[in-house]
Amino acid sequence: MTYSYVSHLYCPKCENIYSTKEVNQLCECGSPLLVSYKINELKEAFKREDLVGRAPDLWRYHELLPVEDPQYVATLGEGMTPMLYMNKIGKQMGIPNLFMKDEGLIPSGSFKSRGAAVGVSKAKELGVGKLAMPTNGNAGAAWSLYCAQADINSTIVMPTDAPEITRKECVAAGADLYLVDGLIGDAGKIVGQAVNDYNLYDASTLKEPYRIEGKKTMGLEIAEQFNWEVPDVILYPTGGGVGLIGIDKAFHELQELGWIDEGKMPRLVAVQSEGCAPIVKAWEEGKSSADPWEDASTVAFGINVAKALGDFLILDAIRKTNGCAISVSDDDILKELSIVAATEGAFVCPEGAAAFVAARKLREQNWIKHDERVVVLNTGAGIKYPNTIEVDVPILQKGEKL
């Protein structure tokens, strides 16, 4: 049986074609490259019922992933995260059909494991021995861990403000970790120079084509978890936006396969912080790309991306699905984080909390209707961000009564 039906890489801007059997980064025009599959062959060879009995991880969709030889698969069991019915907080918001896709329950503690698993596996298949990447924390942690399994040397550069636990994950995995006093864009410049100087594989967001293929499995899982019915709205905390682009790609591929109705796509919502909202600004101004955000800063560190390489793909996805982009305040993020934990028992990450705030606001504006099925992406475990909760509790002396 054919393991993968990958066909080629293509440029969404100039339509150039590249091979998946050799190392390719960006198109010669500077655009990210996307992966294309042999859909006509897949229609005949791959059916929904083929998934029955397969392992509950993202490699259950291997026909729709770019790794051609399973011997190169690096996996820690990532994928098929829970789709939780958020009954109580949904009623509170006026969204009785509110669900949360909980990516905190995944190796490395964040959805970055998806992109790392597929990206590292394909890099291994292509013969890559050393790679480098800038990160806001979680992606670097994930790629370090999967590189350790794949015997690939990893060099990671992250801002000094990145969550401390992500540094420790990188160090534990044996990565060469460097901190920079700046933002992820500053880390990216350092990595770019190192890539040129030392002939490293550039694993920066969308500078290699395969991370997005791992992230798109969130969309494949959402469809499968709803028995191949499409939710009305998906809210995604957006920094680099790879997951949003990937989810959109997944639903389009499922439509091409005939696995979901061709006439309906979920309305995609890009959620950002008011302290770093380049996509929201571009959306409100009707632009097809975003200007860099000055002095970017937010408690939701994972979406603190001043300029996304795939901004035009993000904006295109939300526009074509009749979605929107919305920003929320850090104060509301921290308040919502506590509300979700106290109401549903789910300790979400600040990025996930931002998506809940956005759902609340969009329902108040009646953009989300009462009877719609809504999915919020919680992209990581709250315990990776211990500083988001201030603890001030009384200390009892031995033998003292409550």
Structural domain count of the chain: 1
pLDDT digits (tens, 9 = 90+) for 184-204: 999 999 999 999 999 999 999
| 378 within some domain | yes
| 363 within some domain | yes
**Structure pTM?**
0.96
* Residue 8 pLDDT class (50, 70, 90 cuts): very high
SS (H, E, C) 284-327: HCCCCCCCCCCCCCCCCHHHCCCCCCCHHHHHHHHHHCCCEEEE
The reported pLDDT for the residue numbered 239 is 96
- Give me the residue label for tokens 């790879």: 242
What's the full length of the chain, in residues? 402
| 245 within some domain | yes
| 393 within some domain | no
The mean-pLDDT minimum among 30-44, 82-96, 388-402 falls in: 388-402
Q: Determine contact, residues 324/366, Cβ cutoff 8 Å.
A: no
| 205 within some domain | no
Task: Give me the mean pLDDT over the 308-336 stretch.
Answer: 97
DSSP annotation of 34: E
* Residue 262 pLDDT class (50, 70, 90 cuts): confident
Share of the chain above pLDDT 70, in %: 100
| 294 within some domain | yes
The reported pLDDT for the residue numbered 167 is 95
- Rounded Cα distance, 266 and 237, in Å: 16
Q: Determine contact, residues 101/375, Cβ cutoff 8 Å.
A: yes
- Rounded Cα distance, 191 and 188, in Å: 5
The reported pLDDT for the residue numbered 387 is 87
- Rounded Cα distance, 222 and 210, in Å: 20
* Residue 274 pLDDT class (50, 70, 90 cuts): very high
How high does pLDDT run on average in the chain?
Answer: 96
Which H or E element spans position 17?
A: strand 17-18
| 173 within some domain | no
| 11 within some domain | no
* Residue 50 pLDDT class (50, 70, 90 cuts): very high
Q: Determine contact, residues 225/231, Cβ cutoff 8 Å.
A: no
153-159: strand order across its sheet:
176-180, 153-159, 130-134, 201-202
Task: Name the residue range of residue 371's domain.
Answer: 83-110+212-387
- Other CB atoms within 10 A of residue 189 CB: 13
Burial of 329 (0-12, 13-18, 19+ CB in 10 A): middle
SS (H, E, C) 179-219: EECCCHHHHHHHHHHHHHHHCCEECCCCCCCCHHHHHCHHH
Q: pLDDT at residue 14 above 90?
A: yes
* Residue 390 pLDDT class (50, 70, 90 cuts): confident
SS3 235: strand
* Residue 386 pLDDT class (50, 70, 90 cuts): confident
Q: pLDDT at residue 367 above 80?
A: yes
SS3 11: coil
SS3 177: strand
Selection from 308, 150, 140, 153 nearest residue 236 by Cα: 308
SS (H, E, C) 237-279: ECCCCHHHHHHHHHHHHHHHHCCCCCCCCCEEEEEEECCECHH
pLDDT digits (tens, 9 = 90+) for 148-189: 999 999 999 999 999 899 999 999 999 999 999 999 999 999
CATH label of the domain that carries residue 310: 3.40.50.1100
Write the Ramachandran bin of 227: left for phi over 0, alpha for psi from -120 to 50, otherwise beta: left
The reported pLDDT for the residue numbered 111 is 96
* Residue 375 pLDDT class (50, 70, 90 cuts): very high
Q: pLDDT at residue 1 above 90?
A: no
Residue of 139 and 389 predicted with greater confidence: 139
Distances in whole angstroms, Cα of residue 250 to Cα of each of 135, 166, 220, 360: 24, 28, 6, 26
